[in-house]
Amino acid sequence: GAGGPVAMKVSSEDAAAGLEPAVPDIMLLDEATRVDVLMRARIVAEAGVVPMLVRLCAGPEGPLEDLEAKAAAAAAAAAAAAASQADGDTAAEPDADGDGKKKKKGGKKGSKKGGKKGKKGKLEPGMAEAQTFCSAVLRLLSMDELWRKPLAEAGAVRYLLPLLDVKLSPARWNARQLLINLSLTGSLVSKLKLYGVPDYVHGANVPGSHYERPAGSVTDDLEALPTHLTNTPPPARQLPASGLHIKPPPLKTAAAAGATGTAVGVAVGAARLSPLSVGG
211-266 pLDDT per residue, tens: 565 555 555 555 565 666 566 666 666 655 555 555 666 665 655 666 666 665 65
Using pLDDT thresholds of 50, 70 and 90, give the confidence band for residue 76.
confident
Domain boundaries, the chain: 12-64+124-208
- Determine the length of the chain: 280
* Predicted confidence (pLDDT) at residue 74 exceeds the cutoff of 80: yes
pTM, full prediction: 0.52
What does the buried/exposed string (b/e) look like for 215-226 if buried means 16 or more CB atoms within 10 Å of the residue's CB?
eeeeeeeeeeee
| Predicted local distance difference test score (pLDDT) of residue 102 | 52
Short-list 109, 141, 177, 130, CA closest to 15: 130
CB atoms inside a 10 Å sphere around CB 3: 7
Q: Tell me the sheet residues that pair with 96.
A: 102
Q: How many whole angstroms separate alpha carbon 163 and alpha carbon 97?
A: 50
Q: How many whole angstroms separate alpha carbon 157 and alpha carbon 180?
A: 11
Q: How many whole angstroms separate alpha carbon 23 and alpha carbon 10?
A: 11
Q: How many whole angstroms separate alpha carbon 254 and alpha carbon 259?
A: 9
The fold for domain 12-64+124-208 equals Leucine-rich Repeat Variant (1.25.10)
Q: How many whole angstroms separate alpha carbon 203 and alpha carbon 184?
A: 10
| Predicted local distance difference test score (pLDDT) of residue 81 | 84
> Which amino acid does the sequence have at 91?
A
Mean of all residue pLDDT scores within the chain = 71
Where is average pLDDT lowest: 89-93, 118-122, 185-189, 256-260? 89-93
SS (H, E, C) the chain: CCCCCCCCCCCHHHHHCCCCCCCCCHHHCCHHHHHHHHHHHHHHHHCCCHHHHHHCCCCCCCCCCCHHHHHHHHHHHHHHHHHHHHCCCCCCCCCECCCCCECCCCCCCCCCCCCCCCCCCCCCCCHHHHHHHHHHHHHHHHCCHHHHHHHHHCCHHHHHHHHHHCCCHHHHHHHHHHHHHHHCCHHHHHHHHHCCCCHHHHCCCCCHHHHCCCHHHHHHHHHCCCHHHCCCCCCCCCCCCCCCCCCCCCCCCHHHHHHHHHHHHHHHHHHHHCHHHCCC
